[in-house]
Chain A
């Protein structure tokens, strides 16, 4: 499979996430679009790691070239899990204070 197919797929997925962040007002859906963007980058990292493996695989079938990409994906998942727990706590706090999860209410933070 040529690598550009996966690049374009991840790009479109990332752009859908960007459009969701820009157009929706519900804080939880904005948060889900951020998860969408994280997953697009994860997919691209795995694809690139297999691309590096492809070059080394011809010479040595047990080569570990490109394994760093998959470890990066693992660490991104770790950070995403921590981020979600704190972010959802912030959203619950926002709802408790304003009775709404509309992100436009957050502009009172500037005062």
Chain B
């Protein structure tokens, strides 16, 4: 059990516990804070996988920008109290059973790929090595082979900005 394994299990437990707390918490503000913790744990996973650029971008974009936007909206709408109406208990049970069935069926597929058809048997992940996650290599690839999608994403941002302003303004 080396350090990488210990960190993997710790970060996985932290991710899953915080994700559960996101959907269990009654107060939306607590949900947002737990979600920030999920993003920190996932960034830790990215660092373990040596995807350093994505780790930082995940922190800046998700934990920094998107979650603050969520908090702003919650504060703006004054939702920081437990206002959610009681949902029918059967809908909760049915939703949990549906999600659990989804999890079981996809886990079965992965288990088959591992033991039956052996597509992912003995495939290992390179931990903490390799240079594809560094910003120099990613930037070179982004601005040579993927420059058209990059430019299209700027159009996407422009349209999202215009859309948000048009939807958000009064009448």
Binding site for B on A (CB under 8 A): 1-9, 11-13, 15-20, 22-26, 28-29, 31-33, 35-36, 39, 42-43, 46-47, 49-51, 53-54, 57, 61-62, 64-68, 70-71, 73-75, 77-86, 88-93, 95-96, 101-102
Residues of B within 8 A of A86 (CB): 160, 163-164, 167
Q: Which residues of B contact A50 (CB under 8 A)?
A: 49-51, 125-127, 130, 132-133
Residues on B lying within 8 angstroms of A by beta carbon are 4-5, 8, 12, 15-16, 19-20, 22-23, 28, 31-32, 35, 38-39, 42, 45-46, 49-51, 53-54, 57-58, 61-62, 65-66, 69-70, 73-74, 76-77, 79, 84-85, 87, 91-92, 94-96, 98-100, 102-103, 106-107, 110, 114, 120, 122-127, 129-133, 137-138, 141-142, 146, 149, 153, 156-157, 159-161, 163-165, 167-168, 170
Q: Which A residues lie within 8 Å of B99 (CB)?
A: 15-16, 18-19, 22
What residues of B have a CB within 8 angstroms of the CB of A54 in the complex? Answer: 123-126, 130
Say yes or no: A79 contacts B125, CB within 8 Å: no
**Closest A residue to B120 using CB positions:** A3
The complex places the Cα of A15 from the Cα of B105 at a distance, in Å, of 11
Q: Are B167 and A89 in contact (CB under 8 A)?
A: yes
CB pair B23 A33 closer than 8 Å = yes
In the bound complex, do residue B124 and residue A82 qualify as a contact, i.e. CB atoms below 8 Å apart?
no
A18 to chain B minimum Cβ distance, whole angstroms, is 4
Cross-chain contact of B70 among A13, A28, A62, A89 (Cβ < 8 A): A28
List the 8 shortest-distance A-B pairs measured between CB atoms, nearest first. Answer: A22-B95, A19-B99, A20-B23, A82-B160, A15-B103, A54-B126, A23-B95, A89-B167
Q: In the assembled complex, which residues on chain A have CB atoms less than 8 Å from the CB atom of B129? A: 57
- Give which listed residue, B12, B84, B98, B123, contacts A25 with CB less than 8 A: B84
Contacts of A6 in B (CB 8 A): 125
Verify A89–B126 contact, CB threshold 8 A: no
Knowing A4-B110, A62-B131, A92-B77, the reply to whether A13 touches B19 (Cβ < 8 A) is: yes
Cα separation A89 to B72 with both chains bound (whole Å): 12
Are B110 and A8 in contact (CB-based, < 8 A)? yes
Q: Is the CB of A36 within 8 A of B146?
A: no
Q: Is the CB of A51 within 8 A of B123?
A: yes
Instruction: Tell me whether A2 and B23 are in contact (CB under 8 A).
Output: no
